[in-house]
Chain A
Amino acid sequence: MVFADSDAAPGADTIPRALKILVAGGFGAGKTTLVGSVSEISPLRTEEVMTEAGLGVDDLSGVEQKTTTTVALDFGRITIDPDLVLYLFGTPGQERFWFMWDELAQGTLGSVVLADTRRLDACFPAVDFFERRDIPFVVAVNRFDGSEDYADDEVREALDIGADVPVVQADARSRDSGKKVLLTLIRHVITRRSLARTGGARTASSPSMG
């Protein structure tokens, strides 16, 4: 798909270009908190009306087979430099619907899967989604008060993710912690890209770089 770009117009090259990172995870895992802790603006919310065609239903009742839902996205912004701005989108709590949102995944630099150790299974759909689309991701374990500690390897095993996927312990409320999560993701993206260039990406179990 080609999107409009008025590059030819005078002045357009002074407009920054945007990149995006998704923050996914189960409902209540702290996605908006993480977005807010690193964003230079208070998280904004935008809503989209989505229509889902009925599945496996007899085609007798026409329009009634479509269901409509509103999906909300919370997002923040980090200005990298005058030419580059990074947007962080927290995926909506209604996981069932954001997977339909192709545009959300399209062009994503990488993703953070925020895991709540009390409900690790809540991030299975996100892990599955990014693996299928070959979108690089890291798992950030949001430490809630009173939750059990899990070693990185235990989380990796529970989520059935490869040794090459970074797992980081995080506190979504802390800017320093949020920065660490994002830096881990970008380094992971760089590693994957360089492996892809050298033909190493196909052998998925290559040791991760520091």
Chain B
Amino acid sequence: MRDRGTGGDAPLWDNGAGPLVRPYTMTGGRTRSEGARLDMISVVIASGREADRSSLQPEHASILGLCHSPVSVAEVAAHMDIPMAVVKVLLGDLVDRGFVLARAPLPQAQVPETNILQAVLDGIRRL
């Protein structure tokens, strides 16, 4: 088994237990956000609100740094290289404290609107 260097990116791996990281230490043990509930494709953006950041953990600050333009929860998780469930809790904190705005995915009930599907067709054709 490899040693994890201080700057190492690869988590230790145990074939029985899976990744030997404790991602939920970043969330203080919380597995879901108490406030904002985010989907994997909820789109988030930094609110630009100037506020006291002293209560933020380093991971909060890193996430906030990724939210200058609209990004999905999944993209934040990929860039942070931490599981999506953990990112949702941390982003939920940022939403609750007003640092980040979130937009829920388009509800399925609204998707049938022909103009949206037509826009998707047009957008794909433009690729």
Contact = CB atoms under 8 A, between A and B. Distances in A.
Given A4-B36, A6-B95, A6-B103, A86 B123 contact: yes
A73 B127 contact: no
Interface stretch (B1-9, B54-62, B75-83): B75-83
Given A11-B101, A73-B74, A18 B42 contact: yes
Contacts of B44: 15
A20 interface: yes
B119 A69 contact: no
A45 B78 contact: yes
14 contacts: A3-B42, A4-B38, A4-B42, A4-B95, A5-B42, A6-B102, A18-B43, A46-B84, A49-B18, A70-B18, A81-B123, A86-B124, A109-B108, A183-B124
Interface string A68-97: 111001010111110011110100000000
B38 A49 contact: no
Given A4-B95, A11-B101, 4 more contacts: A15-B43, A17-B43, A70-B18, A70-B19
A12 interface: yes
B101 A186 contact: no
A80 B72 contact: no
Interface residues of B, number: 49
Interface of A: 1-7, 9, 11-12, 15-20, 38, 40, 44-49, 68-70, 73, 75, 77-81, 84-87, 89, 103-104, 106-107, 109, 175, 179, 182-183, 186-187, 189-190, 193, 197
B37 A4 contact: yes
B90 to A, nearest CB: 14
Contact of B74 (A44, A80, A183, A189): A44
Nearest to A74: B78
Given A19-B111, A49-B18, A49-B19, A4 B74 contact: no
Contact of A12 (B85, B103, B120): B103
